[in-house]
Amino acid sequence: MAVSRRRNTATDSRHTTMHIHRQIDALRSALADAGRIAFVPTMGNLHAGHIALIEAAREHADCVVASIFVNRLQFAPNEDFDRYPRTFEADSAALSAAGAHQLFAPDEIALYPEPQRYQVVPDPDQADILEGHFRPGFFNGVATVVMKLFQIVRPDVALFGKKDFQQLMVVRNMVRQFAMPIQIIGHATLRDSDGLALSSRNGYLSAEQRAEAPRLHRQLQAVRAELSGGCQDWLGLEARAMAELSKHGWRPQYIAIRRRADLKSPALSDRELVVLGAAFLGGTRLIDNVEVDV
């Protein structure tokens, strides 16, 4: 299937025809002579953050491949796999308009024709903390599907949003440890004007929750300001930010000040830090992070 869109910006009048593939073999054939490939894996329900990844990908390659696949392996039984929004028509139109050349959108039978018994188990030091602590098995599911997609697409470069900071780190380390010839690029988080990080899950929020939601980012920024000002009472800062969220009806899971390089607790001499947070607002789990150089 092909979706055609005439791009119409002052800087780019290229006519892009995006081809949609449901089967692994069809995608592989289409990519046989594709030249340098940039890849953006997604679970669909796309927002401007995904589109920014596609636009950035075009700077790195001849051919931009996107995927849409809601990966059951990375959802726990009590999570939102079933209600995760499937918005294929809007997503494929947006990807085509952004200049993607190929879209891989397999169903579960095409990607997992038999139970996926061989899986990638990331380093527990990095995958069982923070997100992995609260979502056991999450990074096994992510690493397994990303490995499989990388084997299918064989990209030269792959782009991931920094909102999922730990995911980006796990993927980077997987690629390095398996000596995969893929450059991993982290792209800055896109935010609404009130600071809320764009996320497919923001759509679950009621109007009232949406108004409250930017508080997570504000708390992370408040911690960043304290760190920049020289405060090294990390536990105190984390506890105060969690308490502030709780006071406003959130159920925070963690606010954590970590070393950017490996997400371990920082030493007093560490300069490159990241403050990460995850919290429930009603039934919706939001995550965010801010980087800080102290």
Query: Cα(112)–Cα(115) distance, rounded to whole angstroms?
Result: 6
Give the phi and the psi of residue 46 in degrees, each rounded to 5.
Answer: -75, 150
96 touches ligand PAF by CB under 6 A: no
Size of the site for ligand PAF (CB under 6 A): 10
Q: Which residue, 142 or 281, is less far from ligand PAF as judged by CB?
A: 142
* Alpha-carbon distance values, 199 to 48, 93, 105, 152, 190 (Å): 9, 19, 20, 26, 9
Site string for ligand PAF, 184-213 (x = CB under 6 A): ------------------------------
Stretch of 8-16, 17-25, 35-43, 89-97 contacting ligand PAF, by CB under 6 A? 35-43
49 touches ligand PAF by CB under 6 A: no
Give least dist CB 202 to ligand PAF, A. 14
Q: Which residue, 130 or 241, is less far from ligand PAF as judged by CB?
A: 130
Query: Cα(134)–Cα(176) distance, rounded to whole angstroms?
Result: 26
42 touches ligand PAF by CB under 6 A: yes
153 touches ligand PAF by CB under 6 A: no
Question: Residue from 16, 71, 96, 289 that binds ligand PAF (CB under 6 A)?
Answer: 71
Site string for ligand PAF, 111-150 (x = CB under 6 A): -------------------------------x--xx----
Q: Which residue, 31 or 145, is less far from ligand PAF as judged by CB?
A: 145
Give least dist CB 167 to ligand PAF, A. 6
Instruction: Give the chain's end-to-end CA distance (angstroms, integer).
Output: 51
43 touches ligand PAF by CB under 6 A: yes
Query: Cα(25)–Cα(22) distance, rounded to whole angstroms?
Result: 9
- β pairing state of 15-21 and 102-104: parallel
91 touches ligand PAF by CB under 6 A: no
Q: Which residue, 123 or 212, is less far from ligand PAF as judged by CB?
A: 123
The rounded Cα 128 to chain-centroid distance in angstroms is: 17
| Catalytic residue set | 50
| 73 contact partners, CB below 8 Å, separation of at least 6 | 112, 116, 119, 140, 141, 144, 145
Bridge partners of 3? 18
| 45 contact partners, CB below 8 Å, separation of at least 6 | 84, 85, 86, 87, 91, 200, 203
Count Cβ atoms within 10 A of the Cβ of residue 82 and give its class: 0-12 exposed, 13-18 middle, 19 or more buried: exposed
Question: Residue from 34, 41, 253, 279 that binds ligand PAF (CB under 6 A)?
Answer: 41
51 touches ligand PAF by CB under 6 A: no
Contacts with ligand PAF, residue ranges (CB under 6 A): 41-43, 71, 74, 142, 145-146, 164, 167
